[in-house]
Amino acid sequence: MLVLAGRSLGPAGFGALSSLYLLVTSVATGLFTPLEQEVTRRRGVERSRHTWDRSLTRRALGHGQAAAGAALVLALAAYPLTVRVLGDQDWLVVSLCLALPGYAAWFEVRGELAGQGHLRRYGTQLVVDGASRMVGALALVLTGGESVATFGLLFGLSPWITLLLTLPGWRLAPEQRRAGPADPLARPLALLVLSALASQLLINAGPLVVNLLATDDERDLAGVYLAVLVVVRIPVFLFSAVQPGYLRSLAEYVGGGDRQAFDELVRRVLMTVAGVSAAVCLASTALAPPLVSWVFGFDQRLDRATCLLLTLAVGLFLVAVVLAQALLALGHHVWVTTGWLLGLAGLALGAAPDTGVVTRATLALLAGAAVATASLALLLRRERAQWAMIGPS
């Protein structure tokens, strides 16, 4: 969908759409991934203990819609800045207002599906969400209706289309479970929201930094930068196939006190992520600049050194995600938040040198990912030395 949009709109229009893409990705993922993670974690522990909290779905949905409403109020209150970030395209604000409540509901449902082990339906939801945007983009191109506003509308409608097409026929509550405790959600969700917002700001900060700091003559760089980031972030998209089962399994091992299985799973996933990231590093350094120019049709391109640093930063970010999920499964929400906030501090330090706008954004991303990875690794090592069976908190 982004390729079609980039070729249809050109660098400047694509830069505006890319900002919507990053806002939806960052804000929706930042606010609502905690719903998925916490519901997945709790349902995973319940699976190992054969219990069921009947109020969890209702409470999680309520938290999600409240968070979406608060985000929209802030976006509308800061309307001039919001429109500026969105490339001065007013209609993209409408798309943002449609997307956030839809993704709030969708991420909660994803948590239920992952926590109960319904990964086929979980995967179907991911396919429908992406396919709905892709089909819509093709329709716009074929009918001549492509514009920044119409492409942006696809982001607003896709979560609602996904829920409409994938929820019928799903039975929520499993049979033969005894009632479980309805532990409070507010504190762990608040910590996870802070963690998720920090992590999403970290991985998505590059194009936003370029948009905010670039002069009018450098505006096209935001679109080119995002196009490269889309290519080098392939490992992040691949990890979505691992994450739901990974967190649920870790939570089950914690609920059952199986330390050996916990350690083995973390080690296997870390090795896989490191291997894939190394391969993508080599491939992106050689292929990303000409590939982006050819696929997106842009005249400008980033150099190979920038592509290498971006891919390395993405790989470190993924390692940090794996470590953070392990800490979360152990119930250490505070340490997860601490690791990502330290990563943001590294991001700020990396952006401090007064260099070119692209170099500045790239070094910021690399420094932030490195600090987050090191911090979360040390925190996990500390907690692993103090292993204890921890249930929902």
- Torsion of the alpha carbons at 243, 244, 249 and 251, rounded to the nearest 10: 100
Using the structure block, give the residue that is written with the tokens 């896709």. 158
Q: In whole angstroms, give the CA distance from residue 215 to residue 217.
A: 5
End-to-end CA distance of the chain: 40
Q: What pLDDT was estimated at residue 223? A: 66
Residue with tokens 């491939």: 283
Specify the pTM.
0.76
Tokens for 241?
């196939």
For the chain, which residues make up each domain, given as ranges? Answer: 1-172, 185-392
Q: DSSP letter string over 315-357?
A: HHHHHHHHHHHHHHHTT-HHHHHHHHHHHHHHHHHHH-S---H
Give the pLDDT confidence score for residue 50 in this predicted structure. 82
Reading the block at residue 282, the tokens are 């080599």
What is the reported pLDDT for 268? 93
Reading the chain (393 residues) residue by residue, the pLDDT tens digits are 888 888 888 777 787 888 888 888 878 877 888 899 899 988 888 888 888 888 898 999 999 999 999 999 998 998 888 888 887 888 888 999 999 999 999 999 999 998 888 888 998 998 999 999 999 999 998 988 888 889 989 999 999 999 999 888 787 777 777 777 778 888 898 998 888 888 878 887 776 777 666 666 666 666 677 677 777 777 777 777 777 888 889 988 888 888 889 999 999 999 988 888 888 778 777 776 776 666 666 666 667 777 788 888 888 999 999 999 999 988 889 999 999 999 999 988 887 777 677 778 888 889 999 999 999 999 998 887 776 544 444
Nearest residue to 231 (alpha-carbon basis) of 146, 319, 290: 290
Contact 191, 158 (CB under 8 A): no
Which H or E run contains 179?
strand 178-179
- C-alpha–C-alpha distance, residues 274 and 235, integer Å: 10
Element spanning 51, H or E: strand 51-52
**How far is the C-alpha of 212 from the C-alpha of 194, rounded, in Å?**
23
d(CA 161, CA 357): 38
Token pair of 137 as six digits: 């983009």
Query: Distance between CA atoms of 84 and 95, rounded to whole angstroms?
Result: 15
